[in-house]
Amino acid sequence: MSGSVELFLRTIIARAYPRVIGANRERSWVFFETFLPLLATASYVFFYRAIGAPEDYIGLVIIGGAMTAYWLNVLWSMSAQLYWDKDAGNLTLYIAAPTSLMAILLGMAAGGLVQTTTRAIVIVTAGWLLFGVQFSLTYWGLLMLTFFVTMAALYGMGMLFASVYLLWGREAWHISNLLQEPIFLASGFYFPVKALGFWVAAAASLVPLTLGLDAMRQLLFPDNPTFGFLSVQVEIWILVGLAVVFIVSSKFALDYMEKRARQEGRLTERRR
Amino acid sequence: MKEAWRSFRMATWLGWQIESNWTDPFLFLVYSIIKPVASVMILVIMYWVITQTDTSSAYFAYMYVGNAAYIYVGSILVGVSWAVIDDREHYQTLKYIYLSPIKLYYYLLGRGMARFLTGTLSVVITMGFGLLVLKLPITLSEVNWPYLAASMVLGLASLALLGLLLGAATLQMARHYWSVGESVAAALYLVCGAIFPIDVLPTWMLPICYALPLTYWLESLRRAVLGSDVSKGISPALASFSDSQLLLILLGSTLISGILSLFFYRWSEHRAREKGLLDMTTQY
């Protein structure tokens, strides 16, 4: 293995390590990030029950609730991470280190993915046990494929956002905040996205979780014909395309934004 | 008293600046509109997908009013606890604030007040959207305004005091306390019947609902806005309480919250000084 490839891979592991270990070392984190989001998801479950929704919708909400963990992770721990790192003084160390910023972002993504998957599994399991949701695992292979392609596209998007956030100061916090509820709405986290109509759903498909969620719901609840926006195969191909576009463009965006941030003196700026 | 008022007033002004001056006023307005409207639209579409009916039913209004009022819970609870985090760890100014001639208790209340103001903007936008766009069955001339005002005053006071309780608890925490306010708000969203009548919850959860002032606050708000009979018909679990009983319970629980928050705050502040937590930085 050439030295540069080895360094790239070691950087990924080094950046992923504190995410995975740190998240599980602090017990209160596990509580706050699993049990309490489950309560928020449960509110939507009871709302559906209150208005007499079919039981499949309970499963739909549980899956949506579990996937919110990924969106929040991408927003706060990927996109805004370089802003936090700038505040903490780590960003200058990243830039000065003899490695690639892309590898650091990939490490953040890998660590975040592992960390968040633990939370998502707990939410889905608790939903299954508490609310008796019946998932179909007939298409488990396709389900796994959909999940991984969705994650590749989603974290690719996070890496692209991270480069943009590199230039931001205090507004980064508010922008991440702003991208929560509107995306929960547009991507259909708690209802089938096709209820928004074709064009809105198509536009929302730029966020990989829109199609990823829709495909996973179709696979987990194959008897419910009301969930699907596009066919699963089409959605997977679009997600593959999004993954490639986001990851490649994040590389170019990162190089450009880093250069601009150096020129404008934003790398060490702490506007608070 | 003068010092308490000055602390409160200046903290409110400071909090408002922090909340709003990160961008230009236009973008701030867009931000203030998009978030609450998107949040409420999630429920609107969930409702519409299942019922396929319009949004002018009383049940929908019941849900909508609860959800709109709940914006205050998130704003105030999170606002006060977040002020401790922001000032201690982010801006690292809590130690200076503590040393200055102000009262920290009222300072934190003032920071909660700033979030109340931004929350009010969101509530007004949400209710305006409901009335004008979704045609909620609410007739302004039939709203019981005095009852609504009493309910709001007591409910918001109770929220502020609960926020101080959370802020005092935040003084003792490290690293992950940033999500405490939001987590508690999310938990309360479930158990106080913000978007559904508490009747749909399992029986074992009802005592928790009855123990929370927020349950009575939201119910009294709905009775003021939608009418007692409508609200009682939707939530039989709370129908046995008369309108005045609801306010009395709310008053009692607000007083209890006030006493608890004051004592807990004093203990927490004392312990924070003893343990050197006032200038602790673990996050940034």
Task: Give the Cα-Cα-Cα angle A26, A31, A32 (nearest 5 degrees).
Answer: 95
What pLDDT does residue B263 have? 92
How far is the alpha carbon of A1 from chain B, nearest alpha carbon, in Å? 37
CB within 8 A of A236, min separation 6: which ones?
Answer: A142, A145, A146, A149, A215
- pLDDT at residue B74 above 70? yes
Chain segment A121-173, per-residue pLDDT in tens: 888 888 888 888 888 888 899 999 999 999 999 989 988 888 777 776 666 77
Within 8 A of B187 by CB-CB distance, chain A residues are 36, 39-40
Does the CB of A29 have a partner CB in chain B at under 8 Å? Answer: yes
Chain segment B3-55, per-residue pLDDT in tens: 888 888 888 888 888 877 777 777 777 777 788 888 888 998 999 988 887 77
Does the CB of A228 have a partner CB in chain B at under 8 Å? Answer: no
What pLDDT does residue A246 have? 92
Q: Which amino acid is at B2?
A: K
Does the CB of A47 have a partner CB in chain B at under 8 Å? Answer: yes
Residue B156 CB-half CA count within 13 A: 18
Query: Taking a C-beta distance cutoff of 8 angstroms, is the pair B69, B154 a contact?
Result: no
The span from the CA of A230 to the CA of A227, in Å, is 9
Cross-chain residue pair B51–A51, CB shorter than 8 Å: yes
How far is the alpha carbon of B45 from chain A, nearest alpha carbon, in Å? 7
What pLDDT does residue A128 have? 87
Best residue of B40, B42, B73, B82 to probe chain A, by most A CBs closer than 10 Å: B42
Burial A98-112 (b: 16+ CB within 10 A, else e): ebbbbbbbbbbbbbb
Chain segment A82-133, per-residue pLDDT in tens: 777 877 778 888 888 888 888 888 888 888 888 788 888 888 888 888 888 8
B62 burial level (CB within 10 Å; 0-12, 13-18, 19+): buried
Strands, E assignment, B15-167 = none
Query: Taking a C-beta distance cutoff of 8 angstroms, is the pair B113, B15 a contact?
Result: yes
Best residue of A30, A174, A210 to probe chain B, by most B CBs closer than 10 Å: A174
- pLDDT at residue A22 above 70? yes
What pLDDT does residue A271 have? 55
Query: Taking a C-beta distance cutoff of 8 angstroms, is the pair A238, A153 a contact?
Result: no
The span from the CA of B157 to the CA of B255, in Å, is 9
Q: Which amino acid is at A56?
A: D
Q: Which ranges of chain A would DSSP assign to H, the alpha helix?
A: 3-25, 27-30, 36-50, 55-74, 81-88, 90-96, 101-131, 140-165, 171-178, 181-186, 198-204, 208-220, 232-264
What pLDDT does residue A202 have? 93
Q: What is the mean pLDDT of residues B215-226?
A: 94
What pLDDT does residue A190 have? 92
Within 8 A of A50 by CB-CB distance, chain B residues are 196-197, 200
The span from the CA of B146 to the CA of B136, in Å, is 21
Distance of CA B245 to CAs A120, B8, B239, Å? 42, 32, 11
A41 burial level (CB within 10 Å; 0-12, 13-18, 19+): buried
Tokens of B215: 């349950």
CB within 8 A of A99, min separation 6: which ones?
Answer: A7, A8, A11
Tokens of B116: 């109340």
Select from A173, A93, A71 the least CA-distant residue to B31.
Answer: A173
The span from the CA of B270 to the CA of B1, in Å, is 21
Within 8 A of A26 by CB-CB distance, chain B residues are 175-176
Handedness of CA A22, A28, A33, A38 (dihedral sign): positive
Chain segment B117-158, per-residue pLDDT in tens: 888 988 998 999 899 988 888 888 889 999 999 999 999 999
Tokens of B250: 């709310």
Query: Taking a C-beta distance cutoff of 8 angstroms, is the pair B112, B83 a contact?
Result: yes
Task: Give chain A's end-to-end CA distance (angstroms, integer).
Answer: 42
Cross-chain residue pair B34–A185, CB shorter than 8 Å: no
Within 8 A of A224 by CB-CB distance, chain B residues are none
Chain segment A218-246, per-residue pLDDT in tens: 999 888 777 788 899 999 999 999 999 99
Place of tokens 């596209």: A153
Calculate what percentage of chain B has a pLDDT beyond 70: 97
The span from the CA of B60 to the CA of A49, in Å, is 14
Nearest by CB to residue A32, choosing from B41, B59, B183, is: B183
pLDDT tier for residue A264 given thresholds of 50, 70 and 90: confident
